[in-house]
Structure 1
């Protein structure tokens, strides 16, 4: 970032007070006593705080809320503060941050490091499958509802998705087993760009011994067919968000079903196809995350 861009992105002391909850007088005292924060000055001599300092102040405030003294943490780096916060959460001091409303608040306030720490703590406590069902899925619903109310904008939604993806991908990699069955190919149709549904499904399946490969999002139907057949996959799993047109999802699924060998199963999940099983013969409509495990049991019973 150039100096000019950094200057434009800087926050006034009033904005920092609103954002972090740290009083202006406290910020001035810390500046004199600890040398941090170290704001720039505008043409009128008013303090301007760059984004990285504001993010660090957010972490400091959270740690103070957990009982840490300013003298022991103000001089630490953002990375060190993030680790301290994660330690607090692991010790049970941040149990409230694991609640859906608290996590949503972290999304709203762009507190990415704290959100990441809270998600990882919830994962440690719940295990991968329950973390997906009891934390990620409700939080995704809450973020979506906040979007509809105009309380969350594109940057906040991207922050949420990025942090959840990072946590899920790391956890999935730790559970993956090569050569397991069934072999599941995961993707979305060309106009569907939401990947979180795929990751949640994969996180439910991999601990059960399924072998999953994700093509990512927006894959043409012909490419899905080619990958499924040439790759020897048992199942093609597709996710449809609430924004995807139901009629388009149904037409695409029926076209894909007609193009695939009968031995290759198709699982479809997400809000756009929920309760559409009567209109999708030959396709397993997955109602929710727990139903993913039911579908897996059905497949294994049929292929014992």
Structure 2
């Protein structure tokens, strides 16, 4: 999870440094850590909360009234209403071009320095949507076109996975959040998308079980019997024959009779016509995923009130 000094927070949120300090001191909604040099350091979650507070003020709320809700309540509302703006989903094209240029020939030091520098100055969720996932897609396409060696594709994939898991491991476990099981079914080995979804769900307060690639759905069902998920999210990236699609849908229908099941990825979008009237949700882009997670958080919040 990134740490941001106050001048960067001001730039990311549109709030002045004076306002940030006053809100921090007077209302205690944000408690930044201190660096070795005693500089204030704010988390990605702090930045998101400041943005949410500013949006609420623009809607006519007062900072005093918002502060009375408390940080935890505000974070819940923030996550429930967190729908990404379309421009935030746009890939950072110029940066991607520069990163790709470092791969042939492979310049490991400059590639990693530039990637690390780019994602260190923006909230990690924005880095996922604008840099990491688009980079993975671009490199995958270049490999399919024969312009990038498979070893280089594996190298980039592992770098992205390391960054995702490093941040996921820093997120606090929310024992009482909606239970979400995320996996790639049998024959699905590309797990970057599922890992990114794991981060997005965990960052919104979900209690996530990430099960990885190539998981037989019978074993998934066994686990779900024990954890009773509020939602099962499956990543389908591979195109399937009619026979394979029919077999998968049969298994998914069995799951969907007991739990809410949603699918995403290129392979899922290719099966859109087959999913009609099955009770299986299609999350065909990040916007749809955000909406589904927001609805899930909102439903759980209402259940506790």
- TM-score, length-scaled by structure 1: 0.62
| SS of 1:108 mapped into structure 2 | coil
In the aligned structure 1, how far is the partner of 2:181 from the partner of 2:167? 19
- Corresponding residue to 1:181 among 177, 180, 183: 177
What is the CA-CA distance between 1:110 and the residue it aligns to?
2.9
Residue of structure 2 equivalent to 1:151: 147
Corresponding position of 1:238: 234
Q: 1:289 and 1:157 mapped to 2: Cα distance?
A: 23
| CA 302–209 in structure 1, closer or farther in 2 if over 3 Å, else same | closer
1:248 Cα shift?
6.0
Indicate the residue corresponding to 2:193 in structure 1: 197
Query: Cα–Cα, structure 1 residues 300 and 233, in superposed 2: closer, same or farther, change >3 Å?
Result: same
Pick the aligned partner of 2:290 from 288, 293, 303: 293
Q: CA deviation at 1:97?
A: 11
The answer to whether the aligner puts 1:169 opposite 2:181 as a matched pair is no
Q: Which of the pair has more CA radius of gyration? A: 1
User: Alpha carbons of 1:202 and 1:119: their partners in 2 closer, same or farther (altered >3 Å)?
Assistant: farther
Does the CA contact (< 8 Å) of 1:147 and 1:153 recur in 2?
A: yes
**Stretches of structure 2 lacking an aligned partner (at least 5 in a row):** 1-91
Q: Does 1:272 align with 2:267?
A: yes
Corresponding residue number in structure 2 for 1:226? 222
Structure 1 residue 237 displacement after superposition: 1.3
Q: Structure 1: give runs of 5+ residues left out of the alignment.
A: 1-95
Distance verdict in 2 for CA 1:105–1:246, change over 3 Å: farther
Give the Cα–Cα distance (whole angstroms) in 1 for the partners of residues 104 and 176 of structure 2: 40
1:140 Cα offset (Å): 1.8
* Aligned equivalents of 1:211, 1:246: Cα separation in 2: 34
Report deviation, 1:189: 1.5
Cα distance, 1:226 vs structure 2? 0.8
Partner of 2:117: 121
Q: Does 1:137 align with 2:129?
A: no
Q: Counterparts of 1:154 and 1:110 in 2: how far apart (Å)?
A: 12
| Higher-RCO chain (CA-CA 8 Å, sequence separation at least 6) | 2
Cα 1:116/1:210, change in 2 over 3 Å: farther
- Residue 151 of structure 1 and its aligned partner are, at CA, apart by 0.4
RMSD of the alignment, in Å?
2.5
Q: How many residues align?
A: 208
| Partner SS for 1:99 | helix
1:116 and 1:167 in contact (8 A); partners too: no
With over 3 angstroms needed to count, the CA separation of the structure-2 counterparts of 1:265 and 1:178, relative to structure 1, is same
What is the CA distance between 1:261 and its match in structure 2?
Answer: 5.9
Pair 262,116 (structure 1): closer, same or farther in 2 beyond 3 Å: farther
| 1:91-116 deviation line (CA, Å, top 9, x unaligned) | xxxxx997001112223333334433
Q: Distance in 1 between matches of 2:108 and 2:143?
A: 18
Deviations 1:200-244 (A, max 9, x none): 111222211112221111011110111122222222211122x43
Alignment of 1:97-108 (within 5 A): 99-108=95-104
Identify the match of residue 253 of structure 2 among 251, 258, 269. Answer: 258
Q: Secondary structure at the match of 1:107?
A: coil
What's the secondary structure of 2:121's corresponding residue? helix
CA distance in 2, matches of 1:196, 1:114: 23
- SS of aligned partner of 2:180: strand
Give CA deviations for 1:242-282 in whole Å, capped at 9, x if unaligned: x4326466435422333226452112111111164442221
